[in-house]
Amino acid sequence: MKIVFSKYHGAGNDFILIDDFAENFPADNNELIRGLCDRRFGIGADGLMLLRSSAALDFSMLYFNADGHEGSMCGNGGRCLAAFALERGYVSTQKDIIFSAVDGEHRAHFRGETIVCLQMRDVAKIQKKGHGFCVDTGSVHHVEYVDNLVDIDICRRGRALRRHPMYAPSGCNVNFIKMETDGSLSIRTYERGVENETLACGTGSVAARANRLQPSV
């Protein structure tokens, strides 16, 4: 089977992108998707996305985690797919674009031809969970503040929280946050479906900032 693909990344969060307007890609083949995302025996990526047509919008986004299963919303993935749609000629930089994803519609616009700004859905509520907070930004995130991001065993702690009973049955993504002296946030994320730390996470960054902006936090 011949597969034509592109490889994009958003802040180091990398993806395999496939133009599937003709809907020829076997999206139900979890083993194939997992194999393509494998960093040793495949192309290697945090996830795979299909760019598909939409009757009412500019396009639709179908996202798969590296484990081969369809995932929740991916912010960096959405930015990459918008840039890919531009490269493929389906959209232009002259107006905002609107596309559908698993969590609903998203609006994006281009700053030049390399910067994509993506509107995320509103955060309805933030819940206290254990030593952190649960924030749903289209993907469920656990946000927990720590004093030291360098020495944290992110895979051990992240894996434990990702599968914690308080997030059953689907689990969550896990973000460890450090508040810097200049008011910025440093973040390390353990991603569900990748089952490892990723270099960046768009929905996780939004979750961290939304949590920080809460008056009660």
CATH fold for the domain made of 6-118: Diaminopimelate Epimerase; Chain A, domain 1 (3.10.310)
Residue 109, SS3 per DSSP: strand
Of the listed 37, 134, 172, 201, which one is catalytic?
A: 201
Q: Is the dihedral of CA 109, 111, 113, 115 positive or negative?
A: negative
Residues 6+ away with beta carbon under 8 Å from 136 = 123, 124, 125, 207
| Residue 120 token pair | 């995320």
Active site residue 155: no
H helices, E strands: number in the chain: 4, 13
CATH 3.10.310.10, the chain: domain bounds? 6-118, 126-213
Q: Which helix (H) or strand (E) holds 127?
A: strand 126-129
pLDDT tens, position by position, 86-144? 999 999 999 999 999 999 999 999 998 789 999 999 998 899 999 999 999 999 999 99
This prediction's pTM? 0.94
Please report which confidence band the pLDDT of residue 174 belongs to, taking 50, 70 and 90 as the band edges: very high
Please report which confidence band the pLDDT of residue 59 belongs to, taking 50, 70 and 90 as the band edges: very high
In CATH, what class is 126-213?
A: alpha beta
pLDDT, position 215: 56
pLDDT, position 217: 46
Active site residue 201: yes
Of the listed 74, 80, 134, 172, which one is catalytic?
A: 74
Compute the distance between CA of residue 52 and CA of residue 101 in angstroms, rounded to an integer. Answer: 10
Cα-based torsion angle of the residue sequence 179, 134, 99, 112 in order, rounded to the nearest 10 degrees:
0
Please report which confidence band the pLDDT of residue 191 belongs to, taking 50, 70 and 90 as the band edges: very high
